[in-house]
Amino acid sequence: MRIFLSLIIAVLIALSAASTQAQAQADIVIRHADIHTMDAKRPTATSIAVLNGRIVAIGSDADTKSWIGRNTRVIDAGGKLVLPGFNDAHVHFSDTGGQLSSVDLRSSKSPEEFVQRLKAFIATQPKGRWILGGRWDHENWNPATLPTAALIDAISPDNPVFVSRLDGHQAVANSLAMKLAGVDKNTKDVPGGVIVRDSQGNPTGNFKDAAEGLIARVIPDRTYELELAFAQAATDWAAHFGVTSVQSMEEGTNFGAFQELERRGTLKTRLYGCTPLVDYKRWMNTGIHYAFGDPMVRVGCLKGYADGSLGSTTAWFFEPYIDSPNTVGVPRAEVANGMQENMIAADKAGLQVMIHAIGDRANATILDYYQAVEQANGPRDRRYRIEHAQHLRQQDIPRFAKLKVIASMQPIHLVDDGRWAWKRLDEKRLRGTYAFRSLLDSGATLAFGTDSPVASLNPILGLAAAVTRRTADGKSPNGWIPDQKITLDEAIRAYTVGSAYAEFQETVKGTLEVGKFADIVVLSDDLYKIAPERIADAKVLLTICDGRVVYEAK
């Protein structure tokens, strides 16, 4: 009898389990789609099912049919292209949110328009409030003269102004801002930075790289409420562009705001955050040896700076600039102040290190440092990164693969730089500029991003730039340095698979596979089928992050 009862109970349990499984229904099922999974085992599909933030089925429409229940949202994609959510490997996320509500000076075509836009914005602000942001680009002006305090003093008598060049490595202050900061003719130059001066030695109002700190130190800290507002604006904007993950170079000041958005249920983007390289001591002393957080907000990288930017003539080269023959750029002070030793110590503690390097000497130096790290600490899966890797000597390109250094690059920058880089660099140096093709062919890993708000957060523009290499002035219809073009599939992989690998997250994102995060984007056009020059016009129709629809085009 006991055996009989046991058999009956076992059958009932099995039937109950089968019934429960049969009743499981997906939260979302996308059907009739052209899905490119980025997964080599199953590169394409037509349908995908999502439950509790994860992908539970992918394949044909028939493969997901059993997951459709009464409460499942079924999305007919109508043959549209579906991709893994984009992962921006290099962004300044809070600053992106802040720029959305700040003065926009980027498209100013002349000093006069620059002043007009700035004046109109100041008129909307209370007296005494700092005027920040801007993102101006004097290379749009003819001639390309730098803005000065003298240019803006008359329109800003009651507001301190400190507006940045688009690359963030240079900013112009008005006289009021310099007065508040105590900056004058007697102010000493700053290691790793430049105070631009007139013939009499007086500051013109332009500050480059580390010298920006002379003004920044007196700017009031952002309130927590403002941090929340910037964070919300940034995550909303990211969803609009199909960006479901970002790797933020915010340097650890505002991650709590994103955690608060997560608690409120309004965070639409996964965030991996960095803190300054020197923080390794604090991390190490508290026993932290790898990234920590949750699937939405993680902290786990240490960032340093080797140099500045090409546009601000502070990127560090072996040879002088053509248009500024008295300088080879400006290595940041931390290079001379123990950067290599800090990298070795941080790596020994098990932490991920990434270094900003733009000029060829900066890149060569950091590759040397990474080699020294490996020699000191031995082999391990450390995922070194060079942020930007913008200008490379030919002999340094294969070193990325050899040293397993990830090239974290922003193809959208070439759209602007290609208009004027020839004024700064000779043909020999230009051949190693944004060397996507050469890096891939040598076996290196690419991770793509935008550097927003330096450039648009829209990853589709980055894809177009990598594939066509067309510049903003329309003067390179066949591509600027065309032999460095890559294919669309390679570019998408750099924005998904490569970016996930760069943050140790390739097991949970970067491809569309069962068990991975349900981070998905639906596009208006099939990028694989349209002409390359039309890629930039494509739009995002739907963004899913963590299994939730976070953006839907109206």
pLDDT in tens, 277-318: 999 999 888 888 889 999 999 998 999 999 999 999 999 999
Name the DSSP letter for residue 131.
B
Provide the pLDDT for residue 12. Answer: 41
Asked if 423 and 398 count as a contact pair (C-beta separation under 8 A), the reply is: no
Name the DSSP letter for residue 66.
G
Looking at the predicted structure, is the pLDDT value of residue 486 above 80? yes
The answer to the question of residue 19 being in a domain is no
Q: Write the single-letter amino acid at 374.
A: E
The answer to the question of residue 102 being in a domain is yes
Looking at the predicted structure, is the pLDDT value of residue 99 above 50? yes
CA distances, 444 to each of 86, 248, 386, 396, 411 (Å): 20, 22, 12, 12, 16
Residues 262-277 pLDDT 10s: 999 999 999 999 999 9
The answer to the question of residue 187 being in a domain is yes
- How many domains is the chain built from? 1
The answer to the question of residue 463 being in a domain is no
Looking at the predicted structure, is the pLDDT value of residue 20 above 50? no
Among 58, 194, 3, 65, residue whose Cα is nearest residue 515: 58
The answer to the question of residue 131 being in a domain is yes
Burial of residue 142 (CB within 10 Å: 0-12, 13-18, 19+) is exposed
At 182, which CATH number?
A: 3.10.310.70
Cα dihedral 454/455/458/464 (nearest 10)? -150
- Ramachandran area for residue 141 (φ above 0: left; ψ -120 to 50: alpha; else beta): beta
Provide the pLDDT for residue 536. Answer: 98
- The alpha carbon of 219 is separated from its chain's Cα centroid by a whole number of angstroms, namely 25
Looking at the predicted structure, is the pLDDT value of residue 6 above 90? no
The answer to the question of residue 128 being in a domain is yes
Domain with 163 in it: 96-216
The answer to the question of residue 381 being in a domain is no
Residues 146-172 pLDDT 10s: 999 999 999 999 999 999 998 889 999
In the numeric block, which tokens belong to residue 69? 């229940």
Asked if 392 and 360 count as a contact pair (C-beta separation under 8 A), the reply is: yes
The answer to the question of residue 236 being in a domain is no
